Amino acid sequence: MDLTLRVWRQAGPSDPGGFETYEAKGINEDMSFLEMLDVVNERLIMDGQLPIAFDHDCREGICGSCGLMINGQAHGPQLGTATCQLHMRKFTSGDTIVIEPWRASAFPVNRDLSVNRHAFDEIIEAGGYITVDTGSAPDANLMPVPKPAADAAMDAAACIGCGACVAACPNSAAQLFTAAKVSHLNLLPQGQAERYQRVLAMVDTMEEYFGSCTNHGECETACPKSISIDFIAMMNRDYVAAQMKNPRRLAQR
């Protein structure tokens, strides 16, 4: 396949950046999108140019490191697929492909296509954990988990934290990410003790960085794990309940 790439190049967070055009010739259609970029980078290095910076780690759709806006779509044209799992057979020889980083003020560009997703880490630090006594592992059946709760928690836990939901949202909202992280703990018996404290802390932190959800639903479509926006409704319900349990806080808002 012979392709033309229009790639966003940016030296750092304060550099204005701009598009550069590269010819990617002789690309194998069985390559992943990131392998195609590897080939382009090898050629750039051979020519004495700086390679294109992009985030990646597992290349198996697990870690959430990869994330590119490909022809205006977060993670590209294949639904439910992270950039590292997208294959070049989804494109046609002769195509021009526009590649950009996630666009959101909460995700400043590190360099080229690599963005800083530290704001997500702060949301997790605020409440994405369960406080337990340490010690030897308890018996697996000590705390029974109803099957529907286990299934729903597992669906929420599929979130890999890539940030596609934010990049796809016209408001740069992080409701889907935050809802997935809140819900996978709040649905389980182990998460009940800190349930309301968790949702308040995580939503409050989210609001420091991200816009608000206005139900566009773009996040669900862009999510490489197809996480449902139903989790946003669950989070909102818990958030309202948490506010009601704390009337003084409600009066302050």
Binding site residues, ligand FES, CB under 6 A: 56-59, 61-66, 82-84, 160
What's the count of helices (H) and strands (E) in the chain, helices before strands?
Answer: 9, 7
Cβ 80 to ligand FES shortest distance, Å: 13
Which CB sits closer to ligand FES, 89 or 245?
89
Cβ 34 to ligand FES shortest distance, Å: 7
| H or E stretch covering 38 | helix 33-46
Which CB sits closer to ligand FES, 82 or 182?
82
Cβ 162 to ligand FES shortest distance, Å: 6
Which CB sits closer to ligand FES, 61 or 127?
61
Which CB sits closer to ligand FES, 63 or 233?
63
Q: Whole-angstrom Cα distance, residue 49 to residue 51?
A: 6
Cβ 64 to ligand FES shortest distance, Å: 5
Which CB sits closer to ligand FES, 56 or 184?
56
Contact by Cβ (8 Å): 229, 180: no
Going by the DSSP 8-state scheme, the letter that residue 173 receives in this structure is B
Structure tokens, 176: 């889907």
Query: Across 82-228, where does the E strand assignment appear?
Result: 96-100, 109-111, 114-115
The CA-atom distances, in angstroms, between 193 and each of 129, 130, 186, 187, 189 are: 11, 9, 9, 11, 8
Cβ 107 to ligand FES shortest distance, Å: 16
